[in-house]
């Protein structure tokens, strides 16, 4: 994802309750594509399995899907395993305090597409992304040999 001004993003999220971001990375492919506009809303409640959340890693905004939830100390501290849909496994563990927003929908070709998939739809989205990435990776390895 291209570098965006963290301070401006957070101010917009706090003032208006949402912020739109244009994606340029490929980690959420095939469900979120480069040049898609993502509508991120301020986090109001505990996110759940399969939600697409926004958080900062250093100064870079990351938008990934929650693939596992770990509650520690009687649910006072919650950690989330997150990954891009096109990743093979978890790309990291973040705490609930790091999540600043949740992706509500995306706009592609001037059409609004919801990201709220119901279980098992969320599981299918994660599985399809990982499966497609593995196939493409294998195909490129074979072509390069």
CATH of the domain at 31: 2.10.109.10
Between the CA of residue 107 and those of 34, 69, 88, 136, what are the distances in Å? Answer: 11, 28, 26, 25
* Out of 8-12, 23-27, 67-71, least confident range: 67-71
- Cα–chain center distance at 5: 18
Strands 18-22 vs 77-83: parallel, antiparallel or unpaired: unpaired
* Portion of the chain with pLDDT greater than 90, in percent: 6
Asked if the structure places residue 130 within a domain, the reply is yes
Confidence of residue 132 (pLDDT cuts 50, 70, 90): low
* DSSP state at residue 102: E
Q: Has residue 25 been placed in a domain?
A: yes
- Report, in angstroms and rounded to the nearest whole number, the Rg of the chain calculated over CA atoms: 16
In a domain, 10, yes or no: yes
Residue 80 lies in a domain: yes
- The pLDDT of residue 123 is 60
Q: Return the number of other C-beta atoms located less than 10 Å from residue 49's C-beta.
A: 15
- CA atoms within 13 Å, Cβ hemisphere of 131: 6
The answer on pLDDT for 28 being more than 50 is yes
Look at residue 1 and tell me if it is in a domain: no
Domain hosting 12: range is: 6-144
Q: Is residue 94 part of a domain?
A: yes
Is position 34 within any domain?
A: yes
pLDDT value for 37: 92
**Number of domains present in the structure of the chain:** 1
Least confident of 16-20, 54-58, 72-76, 90-94: 72-76
For the chain, the average pLDDT equals: 77
140 has pLDDT over 80: no
Residue 114 lies in a domain: yes
What would the pLDDT profile of 63-95 be if each residue is shown by its tens digit?
A: 898 888 877 665 566 888 888 877 765 578 888
């Amino acid at each position: 994802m291209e570098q965006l001004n963290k301070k401006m993003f957070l101010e917009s999220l706090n003032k208006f309750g949402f912020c739109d971001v244009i994606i340029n990375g490929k980690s959420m492919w095939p469900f979120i594509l480069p040049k898609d506009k993502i509508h991120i809303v301020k986090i109001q409640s505990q996110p759940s399995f399969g939600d697409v959340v926004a958080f900062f890693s250093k100064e870079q905004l990351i938008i990934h899907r929650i693939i596992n939830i770990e509650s520690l100390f009687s649910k006072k501290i919650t950690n989330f395993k997150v990954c891009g849909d096109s990743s093979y496994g978890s790309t990291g563990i973040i705490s609930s305090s790091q999540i600043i927003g949740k992706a509500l929908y995306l706009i592609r070709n001037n059409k609004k597409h919801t990201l709220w998939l119901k279980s098992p739809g969320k599981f299918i989205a994660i599985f399809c992304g990982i499966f497609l990435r593995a196939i493409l990776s294998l195909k490129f390895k074979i072509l390069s040999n």
